[in-house]
């Protein structure tokens, strides 16, 4: 964000869009340079790492620093098929299956939560629009009713 701050140069760039001290043109340039595939891969690794750490932590104690380093190494450096003996490889494969199931479950939960929140938001927006429309309708009715009352009084005065 520091890169996207408004520059303090005296010259004014008319094409720049600055909102709350952030130059949106610079922000767009920085965001355009991001590698989204690398970000997705890192996100997938860290989601798996999170779920694996949640499986292997000790209740009330958390996860040991060394255990966390080993998990990181398994995800970043170690090729399990080459580095582990058969017993450890089978155990690691079972853990990976469980982690995959947890990641998929988390993804489904997030999707369902997102759908639920979207429905609630749309219902809220529809209520707000209806209330606003009713206020407009009531305002126009009172305008017309006072206008009609003025006309009725004027007609009574003429007679």
pLDDT tens column, 124-142: 999 999 998 888 877 666 5
- Cα separation, 159 vs 156, in Å, equals 5
Q: How far does the chain reach from its first CA to its final CA, in angstroms?
A: 75
pLDDT at 37: 94
- H helices within 4-85, ranges in order? 24-32, 36-56, 65-76, 80-83
> 97: pLDDT confidence band, cut at 50, 70 and 90?
very high
Say if residues 21 and 1 touch (Cβ distance below 8 Å): no
- Cα separation, 19 vs 108, in Å, equals 36
Report the chain's C-alpha Rg in angstroms.
31
58 three-class SS? strand
Give residue 42's Cα distance to chain centre: 17
Among 48, 42, 40, residue whose Cα is nearest residue 99 = 48
Kindly state the average pLDDT of the residues 45-55.
91
pLDDT at 10: 40
6 three-class SS? coil
Question: Using one digit for the tens of pLDDT, what is the confidence trace for 1-41?
Answer: 666 766 655 445 555 688 878 888 888 889 999 999 999 99
């Amino acid at each position: 964000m520091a890169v996207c701050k408004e520059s303090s140069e005296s010259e004014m760039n008319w094409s720049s869009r600055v909102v709350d001290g952030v130059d949106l043109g610079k922000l767009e340039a920085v965001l355009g340079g991001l590698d989204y595939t690398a970000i997705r891969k890192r996100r997938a690794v860290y989601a798996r790492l999170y779920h694996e750490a949640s499986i292997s932590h000790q209740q009330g104690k958390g996860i040991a620093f060394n255990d966390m380093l080993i998990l990181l190494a398994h995800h970043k450096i170690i090729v399990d098929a080459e580095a582990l003996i058969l017993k450890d490889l089978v155990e690691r494969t079972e853990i990976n299956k469980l982690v995959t199931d947890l990641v998929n479950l988390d993804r489904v939960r997030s999707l369902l939560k997102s759908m639920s929140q979207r429905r609630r938001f749309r219902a809220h927006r529809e209520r707000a629009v209806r209330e606003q429309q009713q206020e407009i309708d009531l305002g126009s009715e009172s305008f017309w009713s006072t206008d009609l009352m003025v006309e009725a009084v004027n007609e009574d005065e003429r007679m």
